[in-house]
Amino acid sequence: MSSLVQRARNLTKPSAWVLEPEPSTFAPGSTWSNKDMDPVPPHKRTWSTWNYIAYWISDATNVAVWELASSMLAIGLSWRQALPAIAVGHIIISIVMVLNGTIGARLHIPFPVLNRSSFGFWFSYFSVISRVVLSMFWFGIQTYTGSEAVTQMIKAIWPSYGHLPNHLSPGANITTQGMVSYFIYWLIQFPLMMVSPQRIRWLFVAKAAIVPAAWIAMLIWAFVKVPAGSAGGLLSQHTELSGSSLAWAWLSALNSALGIYSTLAVNIPDFTRYAKDERAQYVQLIIIPVAFTLVGFIGLGVTSAGILLYGQVLWDPLLLINQWDNRAAAFFASCTFMLATLGTNISANSLSAGNDISVLFPKYLNIRRGQVICAFVGGWVLCPWEILASATGFLSFMNGYTVFLGPFAGIMVTDYWLVHHCKVDVPAMYNPHGRYRYIGGFNWRAVLAILVSVPPNLPGLISSINTKIKVGGGVYLFDIAWLLGFTLASVVYYVSSTLFPARETYMDEAKIDVDESLSAEDEKSMQGQFSDAEKAEKPLGGVVMASAHPVH
């Protein structure tokens, strides 16, 4: 008993949570890196083209994508406007995804480290923390959606579960039954979050094989019940909007399509760093728009049928399944939605948050510990059922999501491809006193780009949160938040970097392999900024990686 008490006491000490130092640590001292932040060694670069195809089919079969498409019907668009908005949005996102994904596939480093080259060592933490918060919100939303699937599955087996007494207030936006289902799903999901990024790809393969087939079966059911060309069918439906109202509603839908995966467009290097080669991830240009448009069409088709069958726009597919009398069909359909949310939540949200959190306290937190934090904060603290209370609220959240992510993506793409022409220094990204320190750890060009690109969208964001606040034409800018933010940030960053270049960051060729020799200036700068203990721990300024795992 005394030994257990002593162990419990030890856990309260910070030293008990310090990660074991790795011989491959790529930074001056364990304070700045751990093995999860280091470049991926060759033997762990296992993702092939087929893995990325499976990954995106898995991510496209996502309840949020279904809800995005069907909620467009709820705001007055028809399928004729909604489907092109989804297609165009994901074509744009796929281009940005490949541009940023290629960087990860070449350098094999995660987004939080890569971002230091454009934002500056310390200012990069602003984008990382923003990404952590957004990932946690998405994690909670997907967990709530998964809990709805659990509710339908349990009801299909024990119908009495549907009559579980509610002991929560009506204003809570969740019932006792919903809270029980939420907790069950959270428990199912939690162990899967402990699987490593290298092995989790097999979950995507399984999901890509099972879920699309089930959802296509639901589309066939919808067209059998309500033929597309019949009165009230999908093809016969038209929008009642016209003129500028229709134009701005379409742009808002486009922005929502951009927003739903704009987060991954920023941190896609977290996944492409595991690619066998950079060509393996080029397939994203094709698979993303095709897969997401197909799922959008399924969502539109099934939701349109639900309008005629049940007399209401059931933009949440699990509410539609709740109308079914066939318990076996309800169970298996709900099971596919649960599997869909598991794969998406782990890949797009939990792993992303884990990567970002690990960079905040690399001495104590790795990806797995970051995922645990995400599970509790994103799963419970942020109350996702409040966000999903209505279709309008869901689209407002999607739009608000893009205010920062568009500028982040624009700065990253512009810096690597247009400003530095792919010539970057990977070891320096791990060095707080290296060439990417800029001025005090801040690249003022990135700061300027954020200050110019974000404020125009803030009035519209405020109005979407509180509709009583009138902001005039600012509402329309918010309807194109991602495109406006991406374009403004890219232009401002490029112009300021061209007129006032940070010459210390320019190189004749890229420095990717840590075994490459450092210039005398680099070595002097690095040796002069660290303590004797750090110098002893890391020869040559702390950028030596185990030669057994060279980075090419």
Q: 373-389 pLDDT, tens per residue?
A: 999 999 888 888 877 77
The residues, ordered by sequence, that sit 6+ positions from 454 with a Cβ below 8 Å of its Cβ are: 403, 404, 407, 485
Residues 6+ apart with CB under 8 A from 247: none
Bridge-partner residues for 275, per DSSP?
47
DSSP state of 547: T
Report the chain's mean pLDDT, rounded to a whole number.
82
Confidence grade of residue 225 (pLDDT, cut at 50, 70, 90): confident
The CA-based dihedral angle spanning residues 364, 368, 374, 376, taken in that order and rounded to the nearest 10 degrees: -90
Domain ranges of the chain: 35-512
Q: What is the pLDDT of residues 324-350, one digit of tens each?
A: 889 999 999 999 999 988 888 888 789
Percent of the chain beyond pLDDT 90? 39
Between helices 79-107 and 63-74, what is the axis angle to 10°?
150
Distance CA 262, CA 352 (A): 13
Burial class (CB in 10 A: 0-12, 13-18, 19+), 276: middle
Question: Tens digit of pLDDT for each residue in 435-484?
Answer: 999 999 999 999 999 999 999 988 888 787 777 778 777 778 888 889 99
Count other C-beta atoms under 10 Å from residue 418's C-beta. Answer: 14
**Dihedral (C-alpha) 450, 142, 464, 249: value to the nearest 10 degrees?**
100
If pLDDT is split at 50, 70 and 90, which confidence band does 358 have? confident
pLDDT at res. 348: 79
pLDDT on residue 479: 84
| Cβ atoms of residues 375 and 350 within 8 Å | yes
In whole angstroms, give the CA distance from residue 1 to residue 176. 38
Q: State phi, psi for 425 to the nearest 5 degrees.
A: -115, 100
Q: Report whether pLDDT(281) > 60.
A: yes
pTM score of the predicted model? 0.83
**35-512 CATH choice from 3.40.605.10, 3.40.50.150, 1.10.20.10, 1.10.4160.10:** 1.10.4160.10
Give 124-171 pLDDT, tens digit per residue. Answer: 999 888 888 888 888 988 898 899 899 999 999 999 998 899 888 888
User: In the prediction, which pLDDT does 104 show?
Assistant: 95
